[in-house]
Chains A and B, each alone.
Chain A
């Protein structure tokens, strides 16, 4: 399954980059600096989406006591943290030419930074506990409590008077941007989505191999016969 998602990620990514960098017109106000949108919006969406999925798997593991669900949550965390970091990084590179500052303690930016810390906290907490099952449970509680931050990030631009602009894309309104820009963004988001699935499944396989190394079926794997 992993090669399929990897191929989808590469194909959609190539199409998104082509639309975003070559086809989409230059913005009237921001000129070519706006092209950061094609990575920034996609990684920001993914940073929030991956967190919700991670908390969902962690919660499932906590309620049903299923080891695989908890491992899935653990597998998603580093990829989500990477997206949160990229969201802040690209946002900062976008803020400098358009707002005149790399960073400001704006509600949107601050809550996204908290999201990054939640991911890092989840990873650190699980790494600090030796017993994997206890680590799963402690991490799950942290992940579930942290979920409240996701709607805060999403609605921060409405609830507070932020420097960050409002949502670029809405389900209820007709898009206010050129259609090629919109498609470029959506394709990039889909590409990162497929990438996240591939990366998380790859990490999940590593976690399973490491944790279940004393199980008989692991010893029977054909990868182990040189």
Chain B
């Protein structure tokens, strides 16, 4: 283990901005992508449901 305290870990030997800037941007990008995909799927399914019920109403 390289770190003696959590403060030391978060300071990254003075390179906190660069190291955490990289890791956090990567984490944020992955989170945003997955969230957008979930929304897109949800919207697609809702639209299909609406179309289906519209077709069912037209049939009767």
Asked if A and B are interacting partners, one says yes
CA distance A224 to B54 in the complex (A): 13
B25 touches A90 (CB 8 A): yes
A206 to B44 alpha-carbon distance, docked (Å): 7
A85 at the interface (CB under 8 A from B): yes
Q: Quick one: closest A residue to B34, CB to CB?
A: A199
A contact face: mostly helix, strand, loop, or mixed: helix
Q: Chain B 13-45, CB within 8 Å of chain A: the 1/0 string?
A: 111011101110110011001100110110011
Q: Is the CB of B37 within 8 A of A199?
A: yes
Q: Are B15 and A213 in contact (CB under 8 A)?
A: no
User: Which of A85, A205, A206, A213 is the most central at the interface, judged by chain B CB atoms within 10 Å of its CB?
Assistant: A206
**Given A39-B23, A206-B40, A224-B52, A23 and B33 contact (CB-CB distance below 8 Å):** no
A35 touches B19 (CB 8 A): yes
A-B contact count (CB 8 A): 93
Question: Chain B's nearest CB lies how many Å from the CB of A197?
Answer: 13
A210 & B15 in contact (Cβ 8 Å cutoff):
no
Chain A contacts for B1, CB-based, 8 A: 22-23
Let me know if A134 is at the binding interface, CB within 8 A: no
Chain B residues lying within 8 Å of A39, measured Cβ to Cβ, are 22-23, 26
- A10 CB, nearest partner CB in chain B, Å: 11
Does A78 interact with chain B (Cβ within 8 Å)?
yes
- Rounded to whole angstroms, the CA-CA distance of A199 and B35 in the bound complex is 10
A89→B22 contact, CB < 8 A: yes
- In angstroms, Cα B42 to Cα A115, docked, is 31
Q: Give A10-41 as 1s and 0s: 1 = Cβ < 8 Å from B's Cβ atoms.
A: 00000000000111111000011101100110
Could you tell me if B45 and A223 are in contact, using CB atoms closer than 8 angstroms? yes
Neighbour of B47 across the interface among A31, A35, A79, A213, CB < 8 A: A213
Known: A31-B14, A33-B19, A202-B38. 20 other contacts (CB 8 A): A26-B13, A31-B15, A33-B15, A36-B19, A39-B22, A39-B23, A39-B26, A43-B26, A78-B33, A82-B29, A86-B25, A86-B29, A90-B26, A93-B22, A94-B22, A199-B37, A203-B40, A209-B44, A224-B48, A224-B49
What are 27 A-B residue pairs whose CB atoms fall within 8 Å in the complex? A22-B1, A23-B1, A25-B2, A26-B2, A26-B13, A31-B15, A32-B13, A33-B12, A36-B19, A39-B23, A40-B22, A43-B26, A78-B33, A85-B29, A86-B29, A93-B17, A93-B22, A94-B18, A97-B15, A203-B37, A205-B41, A206-B44, A213-B48, A221-B48, A223-B45, A224-B48, A224-B49
B residues at A contact (CB < 8 Å): 1-3, 9, 12-15, 17-19, 21-23, 25-26, 29-30, 33-34, 37-38, 40-41, 44-45, 47-49, 51-52, 55
